[in-house]
Chains A and B, each alone.
Chain A
Amino acid sequence: MGSSGVALMNDPVRSARWITRRLPTSNPVLTTLLYVLSLAVALGISGLLVASTGGSASAVLGALLDGSLRTPGAWGLTLTTMAPLLMVAVGTIVATRACLVNIGQEGQVLMGACFAGYLAVRLGGPAWFVITASILFGAVGGGVWAGVAAGLRAWRNVPEVLTTLLLSFVAVSLLTYGLRQNWLLGDRNDEIINQLNSGEKLPPDIQLPEFTVFGNEIDSAFLIAVGLAAVLAVIVGRTVLGARIDIVGFNPRAAQRFGVASGPLSSAVLIGSGATAGVAGAVLLTGAAASDRLVFGFSGNFGWDGLLVALLARNRVLLAIPMAFLFAVLRTGSSFLASTGVDRKMTDVVQALLVLALLIPPAVLAGIERRRTLAQISPASPVRAVDSPIAEKVG
């Protein structure tokens, strides 16, 4: 393997991770100020957009909060929605830490759902067994889909940023094809497949259990997601494997010196991130509140939104939890936007603006820090060596 598998990053020394983890300055006041300012600008632009199209920004905010938090039972829906987002995000974060650019989560979610759906209607046995097996098979599905990209990367040096993305579009076509074939994903009842072209309905007991907290029905997928985040946080932060992933991400050449096989490790991490996306797809299908059959456009942008959550969390696994919650609020809240007359696509704009806004503070801080460092080192630079004490002595 050796040097293969580093397609976009020819010079390993400079191929530092594509999102840096630590902020480049230690000034907390300035940092907070910049974050608050850029978030305010993002929300301000969103508000202006709503206002300029004839809506009312405060009504929109109220509707978002009503839909996601304030109406009875809304918390449960929001936390349930958060689960697949978090699953996608944590896998992506691990991949990002290894300097991999996996942006095909949408396809991996879809393949996870397809694999899980295929098994769930065919496997007999106790419900808990079928559910567990389907979710694991979903992980295999997502892993296989990411594995295609990983294989191309390791074998042919193809940038995974492109292949993961193209594979997403293939996955969409594959699902649509599968739904029309009753031996694959389509309903085995001929009447239904002719009418609906949808997947076979899952047996009613093949459903993740719900638990109720203060009248909120929360899917146990939420617990799976948080557990997954916790496990990955430990792996990334506290184990040798996590350290190896970090070394590969920061400097593949150093990784080679340390005896880390960066090629196989990268492939494994990419497949693993696909697998968590696959679990998200499986949960979308087997979840209690979720759809009980595969349909066109099944993944509902959960892959894309999970990717954005990962970008917002800036490589920290546990930070993905609040970010996933934020996106879940936007997602569930958007169903209440109809009453305000503002199209629900508005939340997509808000999400993208948030990602862009959170990019700016670290970049600005890095610039400030750089200028400061340059100001410090310039007196000792070789150009002005004459001024140095040694030069005086020699002179």
Chain B
Amino acid sequence: MFDAIATLLTSDAMYVSTFQLSVLFVFAGTGEWVAERAGTFNISVEGMLLAGAFGAVVGHEWIASGVVGLVVGALFGLLVAILQANLSHRLTANQFVVGLALNVLVLGLTAFLSRTFTFGPARAQVLTVPLLADIPLVGEALFARPWPAYLVYPFVPLLWWAVYRTRWGLEARSVGENPQAADVTGIDVNARRRQAIYVTGLACGIGGAFIVLGQVGSFQSGIINGRGFVAIAAVIFGGWTLRGTVIGGVLFGFVQALTIAIPANGYSIDPFVLSAAPYVVALTVVMVFATRVRQPRALAQPFVRGLT
């Protein structure tokens, strides 16, 4: 058993696949984190990721370039976010209902369109950073990736800066803690919440596009398969902090990498027990951490001025 763990932890492939699988969780998790800090429990992450993945193949089909694929993917994610934000924070429809309906809509629409039209393979090129990529164990995992993966390095600090060091970020966080107080000081509560969801949409769009461009290379309708919900668990795991969310994303990426690496290295555990592992780990982690952390006080509560 310890043998097995030692073998896995010293193989380059393990680090590579952990990083590859973490990118999705980090983008989706940190994006969701912004929405939740602003007070929206946004469950359309799944739909946004799927839209991003579909956007990537559409963009790549349109102009055969990874950049276009990534941009179109991000825009598709943003499109879902625009629907979610305006239905739940302009029309004040219930955010869970909107999120669920959007997930089903995106799943149905992408499945329908991907069966009706055929899309060619869409891959981004691998970009190797010289010297750094030669570091043993982690070099290849961190510095010889398909180029969209590198976006995660500036993205997280940028998000930190936007949320903790700008006026917009302060307002967004205040809207998630005490919307009444924020409203009295002149902040447009629902506008901040909508903008936070737009950030989620962009992040998830990029994450979904990465899955296609950097990993799978084509679109299937089961390509996300509930990983958006695991990303939500990463936010709870992180206790609604950015650092914790990133750690949670990497943890879930690692667990998913394990489920691939264990059979590949010849250790026999039933593959279907393994396929449940990320969800079981997410459940366990949420169970352990849910009461130790403080959630944004107005999480999942709609705001209508003068209602209370």
A359 to B101: give the CA distance in the assembly, Å: 10
What are the 7 closest A-B residue pairs judged by CB atoms, nearest first? Answer: A348-B108, A173-B276, A352-B105, A363-B91, A345-B112, A352-B104, A177-B272
- A121 CB to closest chain B CB (Å) equals 21
A146 to B39: give the CA distance in the assembly, Å: 26
Is the C-beta of B273 less than 8 angstroms from some C-beta in chain A? yes
A364 to B306: give the CA distance in the assembly, Å: 17
B232, B279, B304, B306 pick with most chain A CB within 10 angstroms: B279
Is the C-beta of A11 less than 8 angstroms from some C-beta in chain B? yes
A4: nearest chain-B partner, CB-CB: B291
What is the number of residues of chain A that contact chain B, defined by CB distance less than 8 Å?
59
- B103 CB to closest chain A CB (Å) equals 8
A345 touches B96 (CB 8 A): no
Is the C-beta of B126 less than 8 angstroms from some C-beta in chain A? no
A168 to B230: give the CA distance in the assembly, Å: 12
A9 to B104: give the CA distance in the assembly, Å: 25
A174 to B275: give the CA distance in the assembly, Å: 9
Is the C-beta of B223 less than 8 angstroms from some C-beta in chain A? no
A14 to B178: give the CA distance in the assembly, Å: 12
Q: Which residues of A contact B307 (CB under 8 A)?
A: 14
- A21 CB to closest chain B CB (Å) equals 12
**Can you name 14 extra interface pairs (CB under 8 A) apart from A311-B100, A346-B108?**
A10-B297, A19-B94, A152-B290, A156-B287, A166-B283, A169-B276, A170-B276, A173-B275, A173-B276, A345-B111, A348-B112, A356-B105, A359-B97, A370-B306
Is the C-beta of B210 less than 8 angstroms from some C-beta in chain A? no
Residues of B within 8 A of A (CB): 41, 43, 87, 91-94, 96-98, 100-102, 104-105, 107-109, 111-113, 115-117, 225-226, 229-230, 232-233, 236, 270, 272-273, 275-276, 279-280, 282-283, 286-288, 290-291, 295, 297-301, 304, 306-308
Is the C-beta of A366 less than 8 angstroms from some C-beta in chain B? yes
Q: Which residues of B contact A18 (CB under 8 A)?
A: 94, 96-97
A162 touches B275 (CB 8 A): no
A173: nearest chain-B partner, CB-CB: B276
Q: A173-B272, A363-B91 are in contact. Are A10 and B299 (CB under 8 A)?
A: yes
- The secondary structure that dominates the A interface is helix
Is the C-beta of A93 less than 8 angstroms from some C-beta in chain B? no
Q: Which of A174-193 contact B (CB under 8 A)?
A: 174, 176-177, 180
Q: Which of B112, B272, B291 contacts A343 (CB 8 A)?
A: B112
B274: nearest chain-A partner, CB-CB: A173
Q: Which of B101, B230, B290 contacts A311 (CB 8 A)?
A: B101
- B122 CB to closest chain A CB (Å) equals 21
A177 to B97: give the CA distance in the assembly, Å: 32
B110: nearest chain-A partner, CB-CB: A345
A7 touches B96 (CB 8 A): no
- The secondary structure that dominates the B interface is helix
A351 touches B108 (CB 8 A): yes
B96 touches A166 (CB 8 A): no
B272 touches A345 (CB 8 A): no
A11 to B308: give the CA distance in the assembly, Å: 11
A345 touches B232 (CB 8 A): no
Q: Which residues of B contact A394 (CB under 8 A)?
A: none
Is the C-beta of A224 less than 8 angstroms from some C-beta in chain B? no
A101 touches B112 (CB 8 A): no
A101 touches B96 (CB 8 A): yes
B98 touches A359 (CB 8 A): yes
A176 touches B97 (CB 8 A): no
Is the C-beta of A374 less than 8 angstroms from some C-beta in chain B? yes
A307 to B94: give the CA distance in the assembly, Å: 15
Residues of A within 8 A of B (CB): 7-11, 13-15, 18-19, 49, 53-54, 101, 103, 152, 156-159, 161-163, 165-170, 173-174, 176-177, 180, 304, 307-308, 311, 342-343, 345-349, 351-353, 355-356, 359-360, 362-364, 366-367, 370, 374
Q: Which of B92, B98, B230 contacts A166 (CB 8 A)?
A: B230
Q: A162-B286, A163-B283, A165-B229 are in contact. Are A156 and B301 (CB under 8 A)?
A: no
A167 to B284: give the CA distance in the assembly, Å: 11
Q: Which residues of A contact B276 (CB under 8 A)?
A: 169-170, 173-174, 177
Q: Which residues of B contact A364 (CB under 8 A)?
A: 91
A8: nearest chain-B partner, CB-CB: B300
A174: nearest chain-B partner, CB-CB: B276
B279 touches A166 (CB 8 A): yes
Q: Which of B41, B102, B272, B280 contacts A180 (CB 8 A)?
A: B272
B93 touches A359 (CB 8 A): yes
- A312 CB to closest chain B CB (Å) equals 10
Q: Which residues of A contact B298 (CB under 8 A)?
A: 10-11
B112: nearest chain-A partner, CB-CB: A345
A359 to B273: give the CA distance in the assembly, Å: 39
Q: Which residues of B contact A167 (CB under 8 A)?
A: 279, 283
A349 touches B101 (CB 8 A): no
Q: Which residues of B contact A370 (CB under 8 A)?
A: 304, 306
22 A/B residue pairs, CB under 8 Å, sorted by A = A7-B290, A9-B301, A14-B301, A14-B307, A103-B43, A152-B283, A162-B236, A166-B226, A166-B286, A170-B280, A170-B283, A173-B273, A177-B270, A177-B273, A177-B276, A308-B100, A308-B104, A351-B104, A355-B104, A356-B102, A360-B87, A360-B91
B112 touches A349 (CB 8 A): yes
Q: Which residues of B contact A346 (CB under 8 A)?
A: 108, 112
B287: nearest chain-A partner, CB-CB: A156
Q: Which residues of B contact A353 (CB under 8 A)?
A: 105
B304: nearest chain-A partner, CB-CB: A370
Q: Which residues of B contact A363 (CB under 8 A)?
A: 87, 91-93
A157 touches B291 (CB 8 A): yes
A379 to B77: give the CA distance in the assembly, Å: 45
Q: A180-B272, A311-B97, A363-B91 are in contact. Are A14 and B105 (CB under 8 A)?
A: no
Q: A8-B299, A348-B107, A355-B104 are in contact. Are A162 and B232 (CB under 8 A)?
A: yes
